[in-house]
Amino acid sequence: MPASPRLSGAPLRRLAQFARTSVGGVALQRILRAELRIDALAGLPESARGDVPLDMRPVAGRAPRGGSGEELPAPPRPWSETTSSYVERYREGSLTPRQAVEKALEEARRLARLSPSVGPLCDYADAGALEAADRATERWKQGKPIGPLDGVPYAVKEQTAVKGMPRRGGTAFLDPSPQPEDATCVSRLWEAGAIVIGMTPMTEFGMTPNGANSKRAMPRNPHATDHIAGGSSTGSGVAVATGLVPFAIGADGGGSIRIPSALNGVFGIKPTWGRVSRYGDISTGSVAHVGPLAGSVLDLARSLELMSGHDPRDTQTWLAPPREAGSFVRGVGRGVRGMVIGVEEGEWAAASEPVQRAGREALAALEREGAKLVPVTLDLARHAPAIGYVTIACEARAALRASWREHWQEMGDDLVVSFSSLDAFGAVEYLETQRLRAGLRRELARAFERIDLLAMPSVVAPAAAVSERDMSTGFLDTTVIDGLCRFAFLCNLTGLPALSAPVGCDIFGLPLGLQLIGDAWDEATVFAAAAHLERIGAASARRPRVTARD
């Protein structure tokens, strides 16, 4: 069956109208089921299935690994400001938090005025950010910073609550009133002194990974503005890639942190399920995680360190075992000597040549540094996207029942097409899919009994080209969607930590990503490998064509 063509503008609108009919919804689901390989799930053997999961507790192969005993220096500083460079400049007096925040807000607006837009913010926190920056400036004058990130600017995806800011989730109809309190991850970063400069735009309800949303002025890829920036944490990826902020908060239900990280050439991690509280975030269901994107591994580890921990308002965080404070940051210096990295050749074969080449070169570099590459076989891995599509679609459709009933006419046409096709899924099929998910969790745990990391591509291909019409009306392209999500759902379904590292560019200068997957609760080993790639120059957040001015 040939792939469906990309649709935007009037053709997409007509398809959305057809989708709202009883015949249209069923017909479209049949097409999507075939193109996204959902139909193939029914033919998998009984041995591939487990019991329906009763909880989302990640299944570990073994206990978190220790290091080799090495204590290596931090990787070199990237081209842009880092949390460390901000703090150093504050300490020496060459920059104040007030100046840093003013500059970031000014540059965010300049990037938004470009044509096409590369603006990474949809809502600006001028008053609150500048007031916080003044307090931080005074503390630095007195030599009394309140935490390791005092005065450092960052941005937050618009689905995560920031007190005094709207939380609109990429929509045109969610209540834009200021949030009454911060999400837990935001409040913890405030305690460390970090300052929110604004909210970053996302695709509508996070239901597409392509970075287009007719309800927002979405930013283009700063490496090539005629290409997508990915999503759904689109603005967070662009905010980091342009050097506007050293890190940003995103959320990942099917790759929504790792996809924009890979396409924009930055680092991003989906942590272990339950590592970061979702309190104050609109994410629901069993696959969505909150996590950071950053311009360096050290900033990624540092921000996750501060965001993590048990939260009485999110019972899923109670699953996390005790962790020694500072272990993520210390993992950055562990190196890879003796580390065993699994390579699933069947998965690598599904990636494009540029992605394969860059990823394999990075792995070869780790091998020369003392890591050991071993083959692994994961029979269910190629079915993870289909399992993920059914899971996230059914859970989102149920969670957004009232929004779909009352506001469907205010949704983008691409989301109308997607939601219209979801009613054809039944409860039995959803539960059957969860049994396959249990089999996938079991398969990954067995693999991690003998490996420390699993290496896979982040996405199938570099960022796809996009037209002005595609961006203004939204677009539907199952080939692009599947290429972006192909390697992502494996870790959303299992809850394992997964990091995307920028390991080069194609001949057109578009970034390429390598995904490093760790065992449950073992982010430190993931950081160790990613940081060593950065240390030896095999991974780096490269300066794009469009940046925030120095």
Q: Which two tokens stand for residue 221?
A: 């890829």
Q: Which of 84, 236, 256, 283 is catalytic?
A: 256
Q: Rounded CA gap, 377 and 200, in Å? A: 39
Query: What does the buried/exposed string (b/e) look like for 307-346 if buried means 16 or more CB atoms within 10 Å of the residue's CB?
Result: bbbebeebebbebbeebeeeebbbbbbbbbbebbbbbbee
Name the active-site residue from 80, 84, 214, 232: 232
Q: 338, 368, 262, 252: which is closest to 66 by C-alpha?
A: 338
Torsion of CA 490, 492, 496, 499, to 10 degrees: 90
372: β partners: 340
Distance CA 11, CA 486 (A): 26
**Tokens 């308002």, residue located:** 313
Catalytic residue, chosen from 8, 80, 117, 157, is: 157
Give the position of tokens 């959303």.
492
Tens place of pLDDT per residue across the chain (550 aa): 457 899 999 999 999 999 999 899 999 999 999 999 999 999 999 999 999 999 999 999 999 998 777 899 999 999 999 999 999 999 999 999 999 999 999 999 999 999 999 999 999 999 999 999 999 999 999 999 999 999 999 999 999 999 999 999 999 999 999 999 999 999 999 999 999 999 999 999 999 999 999 999 999 999 999 999 999 999 999 999 999 999 999 999 999 999 999 999 999 999 999 999 999 999 999 999 999 999 999 999 999 999 999 999 999 999 999 999 999 999 999 999 999 999 999 999 999 999 999 999 999 999 999 999 999 999 999 999 999 999 999 999 999 999 999 999 999 999 999 999 888 888 999 999 999 999 999 999 999 999 999 999 999 999 999 999 999 999 999 999 999 999 999 999 999 999 999 999 999 999 999 999 999 999 999 999 999 999 999 999 999 999 998 6
Using alpha carbons only, give the angle 145, 298, 351 rounded to the nearest 5 degrees. 150
- The question of whether 157 is a catalytic residue gets the answer yes
* Residue 144 annotated among the catalytic residues of the structure: no
